[in-house]
Amino acid sequence: MYYQIANLLREQIASGQLRPGDRLPSEDELCELFQVSRTTVRAALDVLVSAGLVRREQGRGTYVEESRLEQASERLCGFTEEMRQRGLRPETKVLKVQKEAADEFLAKKLNLTPGAAVIRIERLRLADGEPMGIQKAFLPFSLCPSLLDDDLSQSLYELLEKKYNIIPCKAEDTYYVGKVSPQEAKLLRVPAGAAAFVVERVTLDSNGEPIEYVRSIMRGDRYRISLKLSRDNFGK
């Protein structure tokens, strides 16, 4: 019975009858509607929570989750292009831009000597006005020294290509799960400690030289990762 109730609610979400942000009927209302026990209703809601379709808010009720953006592209693109491809309006708020010395970690990522100058860019990325993530990018200062004076609310990849003739060709992304800090939570409009995807990227130019290291904190409730895998020599 609980699975039937979960499927019915799932269909209402899929059809748009229940929209993102809508509050589901209370447990008591669902018990009365389906003539079942509270245990059955809670089991049905557990199914939807596990599927990422709804979320419980203590003292407030159960709400339909915002749809998640699926990261499955094999083509290298930045946040701006990715959002445009999804039919969303990208927006960027620049939080910090400064020149600083590379520590050993950054020097290794960017193939520099420790202490070499890099440009640090911190930006809040939004889609249709909704915060999606915080990105910290580091680029070798020698590649584009006037970048400090550029408008960085636009696509960085487009700017690098058009103004500096630097073309991002390849990148290696590393994903792992983290938690949102109190400061990040304010910017992302989520509770402190909420789950997030931490994404580290090293971007290479056409010569295979690193031009950028980026660390992104992306909202875990808005992203999911989808991978297509195959096995070579299957059956051998």
Q: What's the CATH number where 50 sits?
A: 1.10.10.10
User: How many domains does the chain contain in total?
Assistant: 2
pLDDT for 226? 64
Question: What's the CA gap between 49 and 25, in Å, rounded?
Answer: 15
Domain of 113, in residue numbers: 69-225
> What pLDDT sits at residue 97?
96
State the 10-residue block means of pLDDT for the chain, 236 residues long. Answer: 86 82 90 92 85 80 73 60 72 94 95 96 90 94 93 90 89 87 91 87 91 91 66 53
| CATH code of the domain in which 202 resides | 3.40.1410.10
Token reading at 223? 């992203």
pLDDT given for residue 78 in this prediction: 67
Question: Residue 37: its pLDDT value, please?
Answer: 93
Residue 102, in any domain of the structure: yes
Q: What pLDDT does 200 receive?
A: 93
Residue 227 has a pLDDT of: 60
Q: What is the pLDDT of residue 230?
A: 57
Are 189 and 89 in a shared domain?
A: yes
| 26 shares its domain with 123 | no
Residue of 78, 74, 72, 73 whose CA lies nearest to 168 = 78
What's the pLDDT at 132?
Answer: 87
Residues 91 and 196 in one domain: yes
Tell me, yes or no, whether 191 lies in a domain: yes
Dist CA 37 CA 231 (whole Å): 47
Q: Is 213 exposed, middle or buried, given 0-12, 13-18 or 19+ CB atoms closer than 10 A?
A: buried
Are 216 and 199 a contacting pair, CB within 8 Å? yes
